[in-house]
Structure 1
Amino acid sequence: MIPRRVFGDLRSITNIYLTKEQSPQATGALILLHGSGDNGDCFRLTVDHLLNGRACFPHIKIIYPSAWTIPYSPSGGIPVPTWFDVSGYAMEAEENEAELRVATRDLLQIIDKLGAEGIPRNRIVIGGFSRGGAMAAHLALCSAPDLAGVGVMSSWIPSTSNFYQCFPENLNRGRSPQLLQMHGDDDDLIDPSLAQQTFAKLRSLGVHGNFLTYPGQNHEVSRQELEDFFSFVSKLVPE
C-alpha cells in the first residue's frame, strides 16, 4: 500500500495498492478498479491468483485504488465500498452524478501524478469490474480521452446517463481510447443484454473497440477474461 497523500487530497479513494513493474523504471501504467463491496487489495489478490502470480508487466505499474464506502441502492441503501451509486441494474437506471464527479476528480489526480513521474496519458490504461468498469468507462471516454485504452468487465452504462452526451465531443476532436468490453453470458446480476446494448450504442457513436463474451461465466472475473485484458494492455502499451 502507498500513502494516499502522494496523490493529493482524495475524497473517494481510501487506500491505494501497487504492483510494481519488473524493470527499474515504469514507462506505462494500468489502473484497475474493483466492483461494489470489494477493495483494491482484495481485487489485486484475486487478479494475481487467477493469473497464477503473473499479474504484472516488465514495464507497467498496476495501481489498485480502494473506493469510499457510500450508500448503495442495489443493496437496499446499505453502505458498501463502491465508486458511485446507481439506482438499479437496468438501462433506465439513474446514476449519482455528484459521487461520479468526485471519483472522477480523484482518479484524474492519480493520472496527473503518473504524468509528473514521466508516464504520459497515452501509455495509461484504465479498467474495472462491475461498478469499477462503469467508472473506468466514464473516466476514459468523458474525462480522459487521451488515455491509451479502457477495459470494461461485467458492466454497462444506463441509457439515461449523461455519459452519452459528454464523450461525442472528444470523438469529434479525434480523441478516444480503445475499448475492450467483456461479459459473461450467464451473468445473473447484470444481464448480458445491458452490456451488449451499451456496446452497440458506443459503436454507433464512433467508439472503436471489441466485445468479448465468455460462455458459462456468471458475474465474476475469470482467468481467460484477465488474460485477454492483459494482452490488450500489452498491445496498447508496448515496451
Structure 2
Amino acid sequence: MSDSILSFVEVNPSQPHSAVVIWLHGLGDSGNGFAPIVPELKMPESLPVRFVFPHAPVRPITVNNNMEMRAWYDITSMDFNHRADRVGVEESAKQVEQLIDTEIANGTPAERIVLAGFSQGGVIALHLGTRINKKIAGIMALSTYMCEPETLTSEASNVNKETPILVAHGQQDNVVPVFMGNAAFKVLEENGYPVTWQDYPMQHSVCLEEINHISAWLQARFS
C-alpha cells in the first residue's frame, strides 16, 4: 500500500505560490473535508500559499467492526496508549513524505512547506514532521495525539528540532480527550521543540478563533 501515490484535493492561489501547506484529514473524512477552510483563513494575496489535502487510503477499522473508511491507520483498541497502529502510521508517513518530495520537485523548497493534520492526520503530521530528514517550515497538530510518544527521543531527526510546532485542541473534545493533546505537547516540550499549546471551548472540531489563530501562525511561518 505504501508505494501508491496519494490522491488529493488542491486549492491554489490566484498567482504562482511561494509556500505549501499539506493538510491531513481525520478518520472517515477525506481531503474534501478541510478544503473549504482555505478562504476562511484569509491569507494575504502577498503570500500566495498552495494547499494540498490528501485522501487517506480506505481500510477496515477494527474498533468500528472492521467497517471500511478512509483512515491513515487502523485503530485496534480504544486504549489511549495503544490507539494508533504503528505499522499503518509509518506507511502513511511514507506516502505523505512522497507528497512533500513532489512539491519540492515542483519547485517549493522544504523550508516553505508546513505539514498539518487534524485528529488521525495530526498523528501522522507529528510522527513524520519530527522524523523527516528535510527541514520544513512548521508542524500543525490539531485535536490529536502522539503515536508511541516514548519513541520520540530516540527516533527524532535533528533536522526539525528548531521547527515551530502548533498543538491545538478543543476543551470539550469527546473523541480525542484534551489531555491526550496536552500530553503530546508536553513530550515535544521536554524534547526541546519550540512548541505552542492552544485550546478552545469546542468539541472535536475547528472554531473561528482557531481558524484565525492558524492563519496568523501560518503567516508567521511563511513571512
**TM-score for both structures, normalised by structure 2:** 0.88
Partner of 1:201: 187
| Matched residues, number | 221
How large is the RMSD of aligned CA atoms in angstroms? 2.3
DSSP 3-state at the match of 2:108: coil
2:12 to 15, 20, 29: 20
Q: Tell me which residue corresponds to 1:87.
A: 76
Shift of 1:231: 1.4
In structure 2, the residue matched to 1:213 is: 199
1-structure distance, mates of 2:128, 2:153: 13
Summarize deviations over 1:81-117 as a string: whole Å, max 9, x none: 0111233454411532322222122211111111122
Letter in 1 for 2:127: H
1:205–1:26 CA distance, 2 compared to 1 (3 A): same
The residue type paired with residue 197 of structure 2 is F
Partner of 1:67: 56
CA distance in 2, matches of 1:87, 1:39: 21
Query: 5 Å matches for 1:63-142?
Result: 63-142=52-131
Match of 1:182 in 2: 168
Query: Partner residue of 2:213?
Result: 228
* Deviation of 1:237 (Å): 0.9
Deviation per CA, 1:41-75: give whole Å up to 9, x if none. Answer: 23213x247x2x84786411000111111122342
Contact 2:114 2:138 in 1 (8 A): yes
Q: Which amino acid is 1:135 matched to?
A: I
Q: Could you tell me which residue of structure 2 aligns to residue 5 of structure 1?
A: none
CA contact (8 A) 1:28 1:59 kept: yes
Task: From the superposition, tell whether residues 63 and 147 of structure 1 become closer, same or farther in structure 2 (CA, over 3 Å).
Answer: same
Counterpart AA for 2:187: K
Amino acid at match of 1:114: E
Following superposition, the deviation at residue 144 of structure 1 comes to 4.6
For residue 134 of structure 1, give the secondary structure of its aligned residue in structure 2. helix
Aligned-pair identity in percent equals: 20
